[in-house]
């Protein structure tokens, strides 16, 4: 049922570096035609680091790990492409549906195909006012039982970052800052929260991956939290002001539950004149480059 491209299949078999890429940023995260240009750019960045890109999506009920040119264009341009978390995969397969994969679905399918390194923007996490809404991203539990290394820019800054870090600890998911002992905040270099471990080179990350394999134990993920450079982050004062005003608007309009996150993200894009989107893309590009280097370091051993 899992369709792995010839290029990815050969690279995995030969133990050459491969980097998984999600497809929601293509189908749902960017306007056309910019989305396709970015999708191609991210794959090229992986190749520049000596690795094979494996963009993941579901097409006509078939999960694909590694897309060709036509398939990538389809994800970018076709109307009705669904957004699929890991819980949706069986439903999409049975229905013959097509969809772009989120972090949880991408991580699951990558692991099934033998791809160990995955680059994304920011993870989901525990939402604000969790005690009232019980709203928590499916990413967290999936990563607690999936052996994959995820290079990310932390979690989205609109979330409850402290609660998310606590939840990751409870679930046994390893978290390390890359070149920092501070946890990044997606658009922001520093979320204001520390991390217990810092890794400085791709080789150090690869050593942790090998140690995970040697120790055995739960098949949990390794999160490599790679901060967006300060020169490319969203201005922290602007971020704080827009977020505070957007949260106040949520309360005034009675926006609650799952409607909160899309509203906040939309407000950040609109009220920062697109600066939040620029910071998002800067973070993704940096994560993709680092993931390529990590995959190459792991393959070199």
Q: Which of 22, 43, 49, 136 does the annotation list as catalytic?
A: 22
Q: Which of 69, 79, 156, 252 does the annotation list as catalytic?
A: 156
The rounded distance, in Å, linking the Cα atoms of 182 and 75 is: 35
Asked if residue 107 lies in contact with residue 148, where contact means CB atoms within 8 angstroms, the answer is: yes
In the residue annotation, 156 being an active-site residue is answered as yes
Nearest of 54, 73, 53, 65 to residue 2 by alpha carbon: 65
Tell me if the bond preceding 33 is cis, omega within 30° of 0.
Answer: yes
**DSSP summary character for residue 154:** B
59: left (phi over 0), alpha (psi -120 to 50) or beta: beta
Asked if residue 220 lies in contact with residue 275, where contact means CB atoms within 8 angstroms, the answer is: no
In the residue annotation, 245 being an active-site residue is answered as no
User: Would you state the structure tokens that stand for residue 239, as one six-digit string?
Assistant: 């971020």
User: What positions carry a catalytic annotation?
Assistant: 22, 156
């Amino acid at each position: 049922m899992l369709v792995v491209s010839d290029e990815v299949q050969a690279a995995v078999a030969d133990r050459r570096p491969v980097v998984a890429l999600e497809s929601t940023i293509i189908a749902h995260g960017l306007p056309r035609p910019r989305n396709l240009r970015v999708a191609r750019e991210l794959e090229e960045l992986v190749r520049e680091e000596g690795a094979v890109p494996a963009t993941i999506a579901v097409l006509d009920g078939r999960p694909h790990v590694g897309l060709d040119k036509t398939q990538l264009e389809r994800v970018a341009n076709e109307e009705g492409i669904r957004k699929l978390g890991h819980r949706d995969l069986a439903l999409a397969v049975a229905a013959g549906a097509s969809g772009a994969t989120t972090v949880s679905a991408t991580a699951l399918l990558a692991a099934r195909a033998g791809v160990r390194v995955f680059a994304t923007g920011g993870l989901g996490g525990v939402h604000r006012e969790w005690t009232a809404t019980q709203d928590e991203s499916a990413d967290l539990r999936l990563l607690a039982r999936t052996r994959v290394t995820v290079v990310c820019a932390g979690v989205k800054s609109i979330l409850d970052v402290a609660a998310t870090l606590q939840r990751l600890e409870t679930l046994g998911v390893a978290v390390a800052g890359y070149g920092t002992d501070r946890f990044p905040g997606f658009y922001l270099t520093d979320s204001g929260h520390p991390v217990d471990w810092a890794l400085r080179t791709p080789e150090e990350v690869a050593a942790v991956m090998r140690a995970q394999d040697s120790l055995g134990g739960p098949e949990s993920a390794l999160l490599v939290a790679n901060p967006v450079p300060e020169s490319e982050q969203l201005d922290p004062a602007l971020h704080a002001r827009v977020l505070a005003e957007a949260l106040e608007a949520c309360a005034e309009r009675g926006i609650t539950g799952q409607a909160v996150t899309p509203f906040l993200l939309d407000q950040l894009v609109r009220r920062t004149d697109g600066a939040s989107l620029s910071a998002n893309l800067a973070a993704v590009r940096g994560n993709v480059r680092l993931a390529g280097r990590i995959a190459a370091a792991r393959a070199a051993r």
